[in-house]
Amino acid sequence: MPEFLRRLICNLVPNKKIRRLLKYKLMPEKRDEYKCFASILEEKCQEFKQKSKTIETLILGASRAQLNILPFILNPNTFNMGISSIGLFEDYHIFKKLLGAMPKIKNLILVLSYYNGGSCLVYTKDCWECLFLKKYFDIPYDFSLNKKYNLNKIYKRVQKIKTMKGIRTVGGYDFAGITYAKEKQGDCQAAATKHVHLFESFNNQWIYLEKIAALCKQNQIRFQVLIAPTRSDYNKVCQDLGYSHKKLYAPLHKICQQLEINVLDFSKGFENDDFYDGAHLNFSGALKLTNRLKEKI
């Protein structure tokens, strides 16, 4: 059965529980969601162990770090530990965990978005990712904070998952242009609206940016924050909600100035053809951004 037909059948079902069951039966990629995420973390951690002694530049952040920066373009001693969905809480604890294993570390590039001051993974529908992140990075989550999902039930499934071999996710091959066969050119209203809501509602995560800055200062590491671009339709949604790029990023610029963190604002100079979706670059876009970053390291 063609993929579009399977998706159509699933999306036409009004009952949420039945729709989930159909997706499980008709869309095997959804069924393997846990296994794929676990395999990504497994390969990242294995490759990190092999390269940790020579790493000079570490890249952190969520999907905009993972998918937008190609470390093999920068230099052989750059490692991309970007992981989809994570926030500043995870960035801090991952950096703290890995720091002692990188004796030659000189640079930290942290890719941040305007809403990272309020995004907290453990509260979201993707909270199951926290179970894997805790397993691989010893992140001290309080799972009781999420009242909607039974993480203990999910944890039983996590323990039984066997990771898959051969998923390239570290060396720069996991950018959106290759991870997905087709570009997403559809409406990004929902994503932009969600991000703006986070920006408006919460700002309690900036404390972890301060903690990362303190670790860098203690260890004489050059710390830079990178702002990645977004596509014109994403920007228009934000503008329609009353927020220009300057207004959205003002709090981030302010706290970075207070902490004496250099900000690399790469939000301009990209065309719509450089994007995979509203907030992520395709290969040509990632190549363009990485080359610009290369000049700043």
Q: What are the pLDDT digits (tens) for 197-227?
A: 999 988 889 999 999 999 999 999 999 999 9
Residue 81 C-alpha from the chain's centroid: 9
Chain center to CA of 116: 11
Length of the chain counted residue by residue: 297
Q: Residue 180: its pLDDT value, please?
A: 41
The region of weakest confidence among 25-29, 172-176, 221-225, 247-251 is: 172-176
pLDDT of residue 22: 57
pLDDT over threshold 90, residue 126: no
| φ and ψ at residue 281, rounded to 5 degrees | -85, 155
Please give the domain boundaries of the chain with CATH numbers for all domains.
Answer: 1-30 (no CATH), 32-294 (3.40.50.1110)
pLDDT at 72 (0 to 100): 83
pTM of the full structure: 0.84
Which two structure tokens, joined as six digits, stand for 294?
């290369």
Q: Band the pLDDT of 161: cuts 50, 70, 90.
A: confident
User: What is the residue-wise DSSP string for the chain?
Assistant: --HHHHHHHHHH---HHHHHHHHHHH-HHHHTHHHHHHHHHHHHHHHHHHHGGG--EEEEESHHHHTT--HHHH-TTEEE---TT--HHHHHHHHHHHHTT-TT--EEEEE--GGGGT--GGGSTTTHHHHHHHHHH-----GGG-SSS-HHHHHHHHHH--PPS----SSS--SHHHHSSS---S--HHHHHHHHHHHHH--TTHHHHHHHHHHHHHTT-EEEEEE----HHHHHHHHHTT--HHHHHHHHHHHHHHTT-EEEE--SS--GGGBSSSS-B-HHHHHHHHHHHHTT-
Most confident listed range (69-83, 87-101, 185-199, 263-277): 87-101
Q: HSE, CB side, 13 Å, CA atoms: give it for residue 179.
A: 24
pLDDT reported for residue 208: 97
pLDDT tens digits, one per residue of 4-46: 465 566 556 666 666 555 554 554 444 467 777 888 888 889 9
Q: What does the alpha-carbon distance between residue 133 and residue 168 come to, in Å, rounded to a whole number?
A: 18
Q: Identify the weakest region by mean pLDDT among 7-16, 91-100, 233-242, 258-267.
A: 7-16
pLDDT at 76 (0 to 100) = 86
Q: Look at residues 77, 273, 185 and name the one whose alpha carbon lies nearest to residue 288.
A: 273
Q: Residue range 62-69: average pLDDT? A: 91
Q: What is the pLDDT of residue 164?
A: 66
Q: CB–CB of 209/258 below 8 Å?
A: no
d(CA 173, CA 70): 7
Tell me the backbone φ, ψ of residue 171, rounded to 5 degrees: -75, 5
Type of residue found at 72: F
Task: State the pLDDT confidence band at 295, using cuts at 50, 70 and 90.
Answer: very high
What confidence score (pLDDT) does residue 59 get? 96
- 176 Cβ partners below 8 Å, 6+ apart? 67, 276, 277, 280, 281, 282, 283, 286
pLDDT score, position 8: 60
If you average pLDDT over every residue of the chain, what do you get? 84
User: Six-digit token pair at 251?
Assistant: 């709090």
What percent of the chain shows pLDDT beyond 70? 81
Most confident of 46-50, 105-109, 160-164: 105-109
